């Protein structure tokens, strides 16, 4: 495989990011990486405001890319292609990053590669270690929660998905109800460190049902009722966070156990990959590690900084596609997509949730 160097741009939610990555003999080397967070802009609202996010991306995207190129020691002349998240995500932000990437590609005469943000997460463990295909992927983030069989680049089969809310969304909702601040997931995890995970009896939705689908809406409702029913002390809050986190970990690990039972790695050791922002949660990693060990499988997760949204994974996805000649012919006319399932065939034939004119979310 020839060496390729790609500039990646990521603007799907609340972080403006760029990275320069070189892929050589199947090994990725990050030459530079820049992330501009929007936490200050969104904290007063307790969550991401799409209009504010898009405006913030537009204000800094060119400077973030410029700083990343400078840090890499390269100019656009030394880049083989420009890749940018082109969906799914908050459409305003996606458009900012995609149009920035297209403009740079057009100005430099380099190929433009539209990247599915979820494919970036799916490939992200390959940033730091060897992770050959096939593997079982648990993609768990603020907007998505699904089990996917990854057979190769572009070969994705959805095995199960949340039928309502994502796990990350559930964490964010609890943090907002408790006033723990933004971002919600890390805030809940910090509070849970001092709590009793057995204090509150919370539901594990769908746990006894067949299949790999998940649900977290009922868990959110149960926690909301506890919060409404009494004035919680600091210890009560810690106990609720710990109990809530344990419920989510139980749901994910039970489904992972079933998924591994039905997954074949073709004679190789099974690999369970967990990616997405929620993959940074220590309790969830521990629970999944225990399940992987019980199947003599290897748990693989990206470094913590590459669990959340980042441009290195977008650059990697672009580089892998460029290296094997899988750049779409209509790349420069590709339209930003608010929804872009990895398994588009099943999303059309059997949508898990989120239909309508925008298409299925999963």
Alpha-carbon distance 183 to 193, whole Å? 17
Beta bridge partners of 113: 83
Instruction: Using CB atoms within 10 Å of the CB of residue 198, give its burial: 0 to 12 exposed, 13 to 18 middle, 19+ buried.
Output: exposed
What is the value of pTM for the model shown? 0.94
- Contact call for residues 9 and 312 (beta carbons, < 8 A): no
Alpha-carbon distance 199 to 187, whole Å? 19
Per-residue pLDDT, averaged over 328-340, amounts to: 93
pLDDT at 273: 96
- Tens of pLDDT along 79-92? 999 999 999 999 99
pLDDT category, 49, cuts 50, 70, 90?
very high
pLDDT at 1: 60
Q: Does residue 358 have a pLDDT over 80?
A: no
298-300 and 112-116: which strand pairing? unpaired
Domains in the chain with CATH codes: 4-124+308-340 (3.30.420.40), 133-301 (3.30.420.40)
């Amino acid at each position: 495989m020839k060496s390729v160097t790609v500039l990646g741009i990521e603007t799907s939610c609340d972080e403006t990011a760029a990275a320069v990555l070189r892929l050589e003999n199947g090994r990725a080397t990050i030459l530079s990486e820049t992330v501009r967070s929007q936490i200050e802009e969104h904290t007063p609202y307790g969550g991401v405001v799409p209009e504010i996010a898009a405006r913030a991306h537009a204000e800094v995207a060119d400077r973030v890319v410029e700083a990343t190129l400078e840090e890499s020691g390269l100019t656009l002349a030394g880049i083989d292609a420009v890749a940018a998240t082109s969906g799914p995500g908050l459409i305003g932000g996606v458009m900012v990053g995609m149009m920035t990437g297209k403009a740079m590609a057009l100005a430099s005469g380099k190929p433009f590669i539209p990247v599915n943000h979820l494919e970036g997460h799916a490939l992200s463990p390959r940033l730091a270690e060897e992770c050959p295909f096939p593997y079982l992927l648990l993609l768990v983030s603020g907007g998505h929660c699904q089990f996917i069989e990854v057979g190769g680049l572009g070969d994705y089969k959805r095995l199960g998905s949340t039928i309502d809310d994502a796990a990350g969304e559930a964490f964010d909702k609890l943090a907002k109800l408790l006033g723990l601040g933004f971002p919600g997931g890390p805030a809940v995890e910090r509070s849970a460190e001092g709590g009793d995970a057995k204090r509150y009896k919370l539901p594990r939705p769908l746990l006894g049902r067949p299949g790999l689908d998940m649900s977290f809406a009922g868990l959110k409702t149960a926690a909301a009722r506890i919060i409404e029913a009494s004035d919680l002390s600091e210890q009560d809050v810690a106990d609720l966070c710990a109990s809530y986190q344990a419920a989510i970990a139980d749901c994910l690990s039970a489904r992972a156990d079933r998924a591994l039972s039905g997954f074949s790695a073709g004679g190789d050791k099974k690999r369970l990959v967990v990616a997405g922002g929620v993959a940074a949660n220590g309790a969830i990693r521990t629970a999944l590690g225990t399940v992987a060990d019980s199947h003599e499988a290897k748990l693989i997760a990206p470094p913590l900084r590459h669990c959340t949204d980042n441009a290195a994974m977008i650059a990697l996805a672009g580089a892998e596609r460029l290296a094997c000649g899988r750049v779409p012919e209509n790349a420069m006319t590709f339209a930003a997509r608010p929804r872009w399932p990895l398994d588009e065939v099943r999303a059309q034939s059997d949508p898990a949730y989120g239909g309508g004119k925008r298409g299925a979310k999963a």
